[in-house]
Amino acid sequence: MYIFGLGNPGLEYRETRHNVGFLFLDYINSRYLKVPEKHESEYVWFQGKVKGKHLTFIKPQTYMNLSGRVVWSLKKEKVRPEEIIVVYDDAALPLGKIRIRPGGSSGGHNGIESIINAFNGENGFARIRIGIGGAQGEHEPLRDYVLDTFSPDEKALLPDIFELSWKALVTMVTEGTEKAMSRFNGLTVEHP
């Protein structure tokens, strides 16, 4: 099973809302797996065993809009859409909420669209959408909002959001996406 965390490479993007997929994978590795990352030309990856399941965690380094390029290299290993879970930001969900889906359209997210295109239009890969919305100003362009950094208050919530997302991911891997959806889609991490 492959777990993709989406984001943009480079220091200028490191702490931005759009990089919540990268930040989530970093959280998993530092909190639970504690393994070295390996670097390929188009992605950074690490592996770990979770409840007896071997997982490969991937952070594409091709920029968000070209996330699917990594899928092209994995397809040589006969990776199918149902063998990947993609974790990414969703500005339509408030911060503190996550949403699990078994597949579907890109919803306008360019990283997801790129992965769907890499699978020749097949969109049957599971997703964990991590909400980053809720604070977007009415007149602030979406592109500026997602490429801005988290406020101190928002940043303080991230460990709890990532812990909830981790529990959801473990459930997806061990019990299936449907169980994870019913268990986690209604939950919200609240401000203390």
Q: By the 8 A CB rule, do 122 and 81 touch?
A: yes
H/E stretch holding 143: helix 142-146
Q: By the 8 A CB rule, do 105 and 183 touch?
A: no
Q: By the 8 A CB rule, do 129 and 90 touch?
A: yes
Residue tagged active-site, from 18, 39, 54, 191: 18
d(CA 9, CA 6): 10
Whether 54 is catalytic is: no
List, in order, residues 6 or more apart from 130 with CB less than 8 Å away. 20, 21, 24, 87, 88, 89, 90, 93, 98, 161, 165
Q: State the angle between helix axes of 110-118 and 68-75 in degrees (0 to 180), rounded to the nearest 10.
A: 20
- What the block records as the tokens of 147 is 């490429």
Residues annotated as part of the active site: 18
